[in-house]
Amino acid sequence: MCSAGDVLEDDPVGRLKVFVYELPSKYNKKILQKDPRCLTHMFAAEIFMHRFLLSSAVRTLNPEEADWFYTPVYTTCDLTPNGLPLPFKSPRMMRSVIQLISSNWPYWNRTEGADHFFVVPHDFGACFHYQEEKAIERGILPLLHRATLVQTFGQRNHVCLKEGSITIPPYAPPQKMHTHLIPDKTPRSIFVYFRGLFYDVGNDPEGGYYARGARAAVWENFKDNPLFDISTEHPTTYYEDMQRAVFCLCPLGWAPWSPRLVEAVVFGCIPVIIADDIVLPFADAIPWEEIGVFVDEQDVPKLDTILTSIPPEVILRKQRLLANPSMKQAMLFPQPAQPGDAFHQVLNGLARKLPHDRSVFLKTGEKSLNWTAGPVGDLKPW
């Protein structure tokens, strides 16, 4: 049986062909021109995936020979003044673009999207809301029920994770991280490191809902523990500090994942994953169980005991695996693309889903998606 890690080196070129729909710029380029901050936030994979595919060897200009169809729509590029993406228009935008491709090309209607994939990197993917309760209430946009979703969100048995989705890492800027590398031999003098919010007072005034209380528990239990270097301050030495730490906490926030997961792997800091039932990016390629430490949300008060009781040889083995350059590469979306990077892992995931089962092709006139399902507000034209 092959284990995670065996497919890291797979080369998707020659194993699939992708047709990229040519769309009016209001679905992508224009939105980005309005707010270039979309290029650096953690949802930027949707933009870079588009750019990558345009020049990729798997792209075909002949839709008749395509295995997959890709619709470049930037649904997370509607930002508030302080840079947070508001997904409230995303469902209307997505409906609008699907209406467009289904009326201008014959391919969507043959399968109602079963051979189409969409990049939906928001907190809860195609549920299009940043608060879990509301996301669950909305569910995945009905028109995407047959499509393959490439999403950062992954949690087992969750309505916002569709069977067969490809879970990807959030975007973390590769160039910026590269400029902060320090010598390999620098001793790891920090035992546990974390910088970030413990409470989100603005959006969760009562407390306890944000991060399901796990971050609050980290602070309450360990703020005075000398083994824990934790704070809400975000220092300019953040990346360097991670390279000096043995363990980096990766607790859930509003969603189970955050860019810390990428940063920890790239900087060789053992990720301590606190997010029950999380589905991790490229889990068939990256041996998460071997490189990370998993702590149940309810066990946060015992974090010090859990981490100090890990034998030194286990720590060393995890650090050696983390030092593998191909592991780091798989977590990044570099410009230009490089062999084995996150773009290639997405293509590998798509290639592994081929050939499409004949049953995905509908008979003439057959329909299974409900175009009028979902909240009334989503039906307004975009």
> Mind spelling out the 3-state secondary structure of 100-127?
HHHHHCCHHHHHCCCCEEEECCCCCHHH
* Phi, psi (deg, nearest 5) at residue 381: -60, 150
Distance CA 181, CA 267 (A): 8
Q: Which residues have C-beta within 8 Å of that of residue 58, sequence separation ≥ 6? A: 12, 13, 16, 17, 18, 347
Structure tokens at 6: 């065996």
Q: Yes or no: say if 137 and 128 are a contact pair by the CB < 8 Å rule.
A: no
Q: Which pLDDT score, from 0 to 100, does residue 3 have? A: 52
- The CA distance from 83 to 98, in Å, is 27
Q: What are the 10-residue block averages of pLDDT along the chain, 382 residues in total? A: 62 94 97 94 95 97 98 93 84 96 96 97 92 91 96 94 95 94 94 94 75 93 97 94 97 89 96 96 93 97 98 97 94 94 96 93 86 88 89
Domains of the chain: 18-171+335-378 (no CATH), 174-331 (3.40.50)
- CA dist 164 → 135, 148, 218, 352, 369 (Å): 19, 7, 34, 11, 18
Instruction: Note the pTM of the prediction, 2 decimals.
Output: 0.93
Contact 264, 241 (CB under 8 A): no
Helices and strands per DSSP (H, E), number in the chain: 14, 10
Alpha-carbon distances of 343 from 162, 202, 299, 356, rounded to whole Å: 20, 35, 35, 21
Question: What angle do helix axes 45-54 and 342-351 make, rounded to 10 degrees?
Answer: 70
Please give the pLDDT value at position 318. Answer: 97
pLDDT at 304: 97
User: SS3 of 20, please?
Assistant: strand
The pLDDT assigned to 5 comes to: 57
